[in-house]
């Protein structure tokens, strides 16, 4: 049952990607209820799966890299559903779906990690720290999506090339603002997650601690540079993409060391 839910969620995100590519290729893409509805359905399937997975594991389902990738995809879609309509970023869902689909696909391709892994000792602060950290990464992921949209629009405007994509993208200034605010939101969540980790008073592997601390410092530097107007919006957009890729690359290592003191 839980596997079917995960397959259904993955197919929803794939359908969103396919619809967007077809509509853009046909030159008649109209953002609206179709993409949002399909992504919302995928989110519902993910949420149900994570609930059942948590029941099977007896804890927040973050006990394997498979769990983490599924939860990260869920967190990315969660932030989109909250932020996308508020900012009226019409194409944000179309750009979010490929990221969500890619994370789900990577989870499926992992060998021998799809069975529930119960945790012997459960610390509520550790659970809260881990879950909130990945939700923060979801905000960073959406900032990355907004950054990619900014770079695409900036490139088309610079080359004086008009396309269906350009006409449907939000104003470039709105994308720059959304990019910065999403990083601020993710940074605040990650800071709270770190505070919860300290309150847990549990053993922490030094490699995991410094890797997570480095990600925090990088995003803090991004925010400082943006506040001081040291970097142009284009450079900030590029930096948000690079930092999220770096954050994703650290997830396997952090999960590996999370089970070690």
**Crossing angle for the helix pair 65-87 and 33-57, to the nearest 10 degrees:** 150
**Crossing angle for the helix pair 92-109 and 2-26, to the nearest 10 degrees:** 140
Domain boundaries, the chain: 2-112+121-258
Q: What is the pLDDT of residue 8?
A: 94
DSSP letters spanning 131-161: HHHHHHHHHHHHHHHHHHHHHHHHHHHHTT-
pTM of the model: 0.87
Q: What is the pLDDT of residue 37?
A: 85
Which of the residues in the chain have pLDDT under 70? 1, 23-32, 84-91, 111-121, 160-169, 202-206, 253-261
Residues 6+ apart with CB under 8 A from 222: 183, 236, 239, 240, 243
Q: What is the pLDDT of residue 252?
A: 74
Q: What is the pLDDT of residue 261?
A: 46
């Amino acid at each position: 049952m839980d596997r079917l839910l995960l397959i259904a969620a993955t197919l929803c995100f794939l359908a969103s990607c396919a619809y967007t590519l077809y509509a853009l290729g046909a030159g008649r893409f109209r953002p609206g209820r179709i993409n949002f509805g399909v992504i919302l359905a995928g989110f519902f399937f993910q949420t149900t799966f994570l609930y059942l997975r948590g029941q099977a594991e007896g804890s927040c389902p973050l006990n394997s890299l498979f769990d983490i990738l599924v939860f990260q995809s869920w967190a990315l879609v969660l932030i989109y559903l909250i932020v996308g309509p508020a900012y009226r970023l019409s194409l944000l869902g179309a750009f979010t779906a490929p990221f969500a689909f890619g994370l789900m696909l990577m989870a499926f391709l992992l060998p021998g990690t799809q069975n529930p892994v119960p945790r012997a000792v459960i610390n509520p602060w550790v659970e809260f720290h881990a879950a909130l950290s990945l939700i923060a990464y979801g905000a960073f992921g959406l900032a990355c999506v907004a950054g990619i949209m900014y770079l695409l629009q900036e490139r088309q405007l610079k080359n004086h090339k008009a396309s269906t994509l350009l006409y449907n993208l939000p104003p470039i200034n709105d994308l720059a603002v959304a990019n910065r605010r999403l990083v601020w939101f993710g940074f605040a969540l990650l800071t709270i997650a770190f505070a919860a980790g300290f309150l847990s008073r549990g053993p922490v592997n030094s490699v995991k601690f410094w890797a997570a601390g480095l990600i925090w410092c990088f995003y803090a530097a991004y925010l400082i540079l943006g506040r001081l107007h040291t970097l142009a919006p284009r450079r900030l957009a590029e930096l948000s993409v690079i930092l999220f890729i770096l954050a994703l690359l650290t997830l396997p290592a952090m999960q590996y060391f999370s089970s070690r003191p």
